[in-house]
Amino acid sequence: MCVCVKLAGLSRPSDGACYTSRTNPRNNFYEYVQAGYHDYPSIGLVRRKLEENDIIPVFATVSDFEVHYRVRTDVMGVYVVL
């Protein structure tokens, strides 16, 4: 989807369903396949889904970037930054 379409708000909000597809049958890489139809899920929706499924995200980074992850993940509730 064109960036200008997203900026104009013409994409539909995420409905919370999982729209991923394995990009290669030989690996475990998945791609979000509804980017042209639904917008990406909001941080609030991601947080709710993580809580519903008892998932604690772990972000592994180098010390130079740790502060960037801490600032951005505060809105997610429970998380670990290494």
List pLDDT tens digits, range 31-73.
878 777 777 778 788 888 888 888 888 878 888 888 877 777 7
- Collapse the DSSP code of 44 into the 3-class scheme (helix H, G, I; strand E, B; otherwise coil) and give the result: helix
pLDDT at 82 exceeding the cut of 80: no
Q: Within its chain, how far is the Cα of 39 from the centroid?
A: 11
In this predicted model, which residue has the larger pLDDT, 26 or 3? 26
pLDDT class for 10, splitting at 50, 70, 90?
low
Backbone phi, psi, residue 17, to 5°: -80, 160
C-alpha–C-alpha distance, residues 28 and 14, integer Å: 23
pLDDT at 77 exceeding the cut of 70: yes
Instruction: State the pTM of this model.
Output: 0.55
